[in-house]
Structure 1
């Protein structure tokens, strides 16, 4: 029995060691940051007479974590709108993350907004949504461009985290921030069940369930505060502010404050039996508020969080195999750690009560 009790603790420590090591050592995959205009010059009529264009614009393509100096002659750039694809000639590869491109296009285009794509033997196919907005061209939705040969390539790179626009390197915080809330949910769920059991007891019954509820809320509060801190840090680097007026952020803060009220209530009542019943009733309402603010309302309101308001979401597409291999162990590892801390806190509270009774 002791071996089983130790095994899940050792497993939790091993999972967290793996998660923390992987989170901060696995490199970020390549991606495209920007496609911006550098200069404008009139085209050479003789050189480009066959192109049916009246100008050439030079653009700079900027990547992150790319390897364009490796086989630079194989770097291919395209713009795409729906099923329309047009190649753009690469003028020069400056370094691994910068290349100059000539915007050589017909006078008539089917759209002004285009996605930018590249193909490279090392980086594979990279994509920048709405990376190019052209002006000065005739827009005709019926216009058709000659379709070049285009096949998506798979990156020839070792294990890496996926590149996400706006998030970039802070994607590593996914292994810290989100599991904190999963762990808080688990612990508050334990407190919810313990409070129900406490209320179902007859008057004068054991206070064990009350102690379980108290211990789980105390540890759950710690994970809630850590969730707020890691979320605030993430917001600072992703949204540019430590805190924004976002329904999900505000709901998380209110939830933590509600549970802080639970602890304040316990400290304000001296009678142990009355305290246990009042705290149990309060805890039931607190858990309902938790579910409404963090699970229900975010599904019906716009939020800056991933998956809403134009932010990339961590869904089945974005959460690829490299992230799953770390994220799922992170959730399990932090939950095991939270459970362990809850058990330690419960034992400490029980021991403290026994010592208090002996001293009376």
Structure 2
């Protein structure tokens, strides 16, 4: 039970974010209005995605140094969880764009960069499914996973800042924290970042346990 305290914390934080995010007052800004509440969901999901993808790379590096099926599984499931968080982040961002910019998707460097990054990670899943040899699949996937992370992070966080963009925090457009993330929003936003990040690790852990159990069953059947 003591080892699962962070899971209880995850539930508490996300419940708090869901309730407080809808009830606490937010700045009344032109165009954004009540849609600014999406900040508690859209942005923290990207944080969670980034941290869990970094964890996936960590397991991939460990696998290349000490190849074991468990490390490959943990890297794979962490990457899958990150991809899930990324696509949910794209979906919440698209909904937000519709209500603020009038379109589901715009030709914006930040949005296009995020989409390309997710396609790169989608190719990771396709790559894994193309191998029948388990060791070869794990080794090539680990190498590609490191490449994908090194390529995706600049697309997410660096390149959009170098060009003009409608998206806050990119192309000279100030991020929310610089002008409207008031004390009430910080009370929800920071717990949201922690909560969504912990949820990502929880999902990856559950998926890894299921995959490891399947592996053990398969090995027993072969014995």
4+ runs deviating over 4 angstroms: 307-312
Task: Tell me which residue corresponds to 1:8.
Answer: 6
Deviation at 1:320, TM superposition (A): 1.2
Q: What is the alpha-carbon distance in structure 1 between the residues aligned to residue 95 and residue 172 of structure 2?
A: 20
Give the Cα separation in 1 of the matches to 2:132 and 2:56.
21
Task: After TM superposition, give the deviation of residue 308 of structure 1 in Å.
Answer: 5.1
Aligned pair in 2 of structure 1 residues 163, 313: CA closer, same or farther (>3 Å)? farther
Per-residue deviation, 1:359: 2.4
- C-alpha deviation, 1:307, in angstroms: 4.3
For structure 2, the 5+ residue unaligned runs are none
Aligned-pair distance for 1:309?
Answer: 6.9
Per-residue Cα deviation, 1:60-95 (whole angstroms, up to 9, x for no partner): xxxxxxxxxxxxxxxxxxxxxxxxxxxxxxxxxxxx
Cα RMSD between the aligned structures? 1.5
| Paired position in structure 2 for 1:269 | 131
- Structure 1: state its 5+ residue gaps: 27-159
Higher RCO (CA 8 Å, separation ≥ 6 residues): 2
Partners of 2:204 and 2:133 lie apart in 1 by 24
Match of 1:225 in 2: 87
Alpha-carbon distance in structure 1 between the residues aligned to 2:103 and 2:52: 30
Give distance in 1, aligned partners of 2:174 and 2:60. 39
Find the aligned partners of 2:85 and 2:178 in 1 and give their Cα distance: 26
Is 1:294 the counterpart of 2:159? The answer is no
Deviations, residues 146-196 of structure 1 (Å, cap 9, x unaligned): xxxxxxxxxxxxxx2112222111000000100111011011100111111
Query: What CA distance in whole angstroms lies between the structure 2 residues aligned with 1:316 and 1:293?
Result: 22
Q: Give TM-score, length-normalised by structure 1.
A: 0.60
Between Structure 1 and Structure 2, which shows a larger proportion of helix residues? 2
Does 2:205 correspond to 1:343? yes
Which residue is equivalent to 2:116?
254
Residue of 278, 281, 288 corresponding to 2:140: 278
After superposition, what is the alpha-carbon deviation per residue over 1:315-336, rounded to whole angstroms, capped at 9, x for unaligned?
Answer: 2432111110000000001111
Match of 2:56 in 1: 191
How many angstroms does 1:311 deviate by? 5.9
The DSSP-based 3-state class of the residue aligned with 2:41 is: helix
- Give the total of aligned pairs: 222
Matched, 1:306 2:168: yes
SS at match of 1:253: helix
Q: 1:153 is matched with which residue?
A: none
Q: Residues of 1 paired with 2:4 and 2:203: CA distance?
A: 14
Instruction: Work out the CA distance in 2 between the residues paired with 1:6 and 1:307.
Output: 36
TM-score after normalising by structure 2 = 0.95
**Shift, 1:312, TM fit:** 6.1
Tell me if 1:354 matches 2:197. Answer: no
In the TM superposition, residue 234 of structure 1 has moved relative to its aligned partner by: 0.3
3-state SS in 2 of match to 1:315: helix
Deviation per CA, 1:26-80, whole angstroms, max 9, x where unpaired? 2xxxxxxxxxxxxxxxxxxxxxxxxxxxxxxxxxxxxxxxxxxxxxxxxxxxxxx
Pair 1:164–1:313, CA change in 2 (3 A):
farther
TM-superposed deviation, 1:348: 0.5
Q: In 2 relative to 1, CA 199–170 (structure 1 residues): closer, same or farther, beyond 3 Å?
A: same
The equivalent of 1:70 in structure 2 is none
Quote the Cα distance in structure 2 between the aligned partners of 1:308 and 1:295: 8
2:110–2:170 Cα contact (<8 Å) kept: no
Deviations 1:89-140 (A, max 9, x none): xxxxxxxxxxxxxxxxxxxxxxxxxxxxxxxxxxxxxxxxxxxxxxxxxxxx
* Matched residue, 1:215: 77
Which of the two has higher C-alpha Rg? 1
Say if 1:253 and 1:222 are closer, same or farther in 2 by CA, change over 3 A. Answer: same
Higher strand share: 1
Q: Is the 8 A contact 1:247 1:303 kept in 2?
A: yes
